[in-house]
Amino acid sequence: MAAKDDLGRRGEAIAAEHLTKSGMQLIERNWRCSQGEIDIVARAGSELVFVEVKTRSGTSFGHPLEAITTRKLARLRRLAAAWCAAHPGAAAGVRIDAIAVLLPRVGRVEIDHVERIF
């Protein structure tokens, strides 16, 4: 499990760097409440962006984005609402993005950023 956790942390760090380089401001990482966790909260202009990060070392179990099911999207929406309730007036608009990170043992890292996934 430690290797999987390490892979996930590395993927989140890569995603955070990608967002920063894209001009977004990082607000929080790994925000938790009783309903779960949001990987990254960022700001793009006046919009708050809640980002789900999925990292895999390969595609033998499918592309990382395939792990984001409709059930997971509904949970992300509830988590975004909980974050907004805990931080009133934080943004004029909200969106949910997903970032897939393919982090092979050998070779180039691939990042797939899907805006407004939900």
Distance (Å, whole) CA 45 – CA 106: 36
Q: How large a percentage of the chain has pLDDT more than 90?
A: 80
Distance (Å, whole) CA 100 – CA 11: 8
Sorted by where each starts, the structural domains of the chain and their CATH numbers stand as 2-114 (3.40.1350.10)
Mean pLDDT, residues 60-89 = 92
Whether 118 has a pLDDT exceeding 90, the answer reads no
Mean pLDDT, residues 96-110 = 93
- Per the DSSP assignment, residues forming a β-bridge with 94 are 48
**pLDDT at site 1:** 56
